[in-house]
Structure 1
């Protein structure tokens, strides 16, 4: 039987701005991931950002530093944003799950990323919904399947719906969403495969920026 999680609702302050949400998230125990993670890694960026990018979860570097997208995948995302003509400082960057989930390698300090379950993503979704309400972006960019399915449901497939601007409704709030691959999937590739995947990510980011006229 899958573990049950209380969910983050009781930790999310009603009507709070990004600063208040970030402070409240530090004490969240909405799922068991907080027990092993170093800290909550909340979203960052201007509260009036027109583009809001959502990844899966913080990685090892993000968990240690407390900031989203500062590890290898974040560095590749920076390269893709630059190639797409997008200023990262104007984006709001966050993750569907705010704590690092990992497997610890015995006799080593290494921690290997482990994909969060749907239950963990659902438990953490109140934080993401609160971020969306506070920022009110013109477009949400979902990076990878976990982020896209946390917002669009488990039947959503990035492989068939990437690059499309789609309606997103959450608790009577309406947004638009564009899904693409997660930068970590590009990091794992090499040679021509990596070049092709990187070009596809840049293309999708350009489409996102063009949608909101932010390039």
Structure 2
């Protein structure tokens, strides 16, 4: 592919419904070739908080909805513990197609991080979502989303859980991706979950003030 960009595939009507329909035809990068479908964001178009992950996973690719796999289960639990109703947030990903490679044995598909060209190619979809939802709070889930949106020097390990200045929204924060909690050693998983919930409670506080 000579030019990587989703720009030509965005519809004139930038409503969320129109965007969600149009993204299925996107060939702005090569990821569409091996993905089952594009996975657009979901949630209230007037959500006060938008959560942005890296890309769909295996389950998301098959089912067509964001954060419905194991990491989505962790996110649901953390939101509930933080006092945030998932129905009140908008969840999406930086990249809309699943990038994967086959496992050495069997049929399992292994996640691969989208490269910089793929991230940039897909950015118009995310920008359109931000323009439509206009959230008060944006939460970047994981290093890929955080560095794409807040700068390559951003370090989630150092700067997670605090609000930073950004044109994305009045309040912008990065925290870990819920999949990192699944990967944590057994003896560290509970503490990792507590820290994740603590970050989301800061988001809940801002949302309550803005409601």
Specify the TM-score bucket, using the shorter chain as the normaliser.
Answer: over 0.9
Match of 2:107 among 109, 126, 134: 109
SS at match of 1:94: strand
Does structure 1 conserve the Cα–Cα contact (< 8 Å) formed by 2:55 and 2:97?
A: yes
Indicate the RMSD between aligned Cα atoms, in angstroms. 1.7
Match of 1:206 among 198, 201, 204: 201
Name the structure 2 match of 1:146: 144
Structure 1 stretches of 4+ with a deviation exceeding 3 A read none
TM-score, normalised with respect to structure 1: 0.92
Q: CA deviation digits over 1:34-56, x for unaligned, max 9?
A: 00000000000010000000001
Does structure 2 conserve the Cα–Cα contact (< 8 Å) formed by 1:37 and 1:101?
A: yes
User: In structure 2, do the counterparts of structure 1 residues 15 and 209 end up closer, same or farther at CA, with 3 Å as the change threshold?
Assistant: farther
Deviation at 1:155, TM superposition (A): 1.5
Q: Matched residues in 1 for 2:170 and 2:119: separation?
A: 19
Q: Which ranges of structure 2 fall in alignment gaps of 5 or more residues?
A: none
Q: Which ranges of structure 1 fall in alignment gaps of 5 or more residues?
A: none
Q: Please tell me whether residue 133 in structure 1 is matched to residue 131 in structure 2.
A: yes
Q: Matched residues in 2 for 1:112 and 1:5: separation?
A: 26
Give the helix-richer structure, 1 or 2: 2
Does structure 1 conserve the Cα–Cα contact (< 8 Å) formed by 2:4 and 2:117?
A: no
Match of 1:189 among 160, 184, 187: 184
Does structure 1 conserve the Cα–Cα contact (< 8 Å) formed by 2:56 and 2:93?
A: yes
Q: Matched residues in 1 for 2:105 and 2:143: separation?
A: 32
Match of 2:56 among 55, 58, 61: 58
Name the structure 2 match of 1:74: 72
Q: Matched residues in 2 for 1:160 and 1:17: separation?
A: 36
TM-score, normalised with respect to structure 2: 0.94
Does structure 2 conserve the Cα–Cα contact (< 8 Å) formed by 1:54 and 1:96?
A: yes
Deviation at 1:150, TM superposition (A): 1.7
Aligned residues: 210
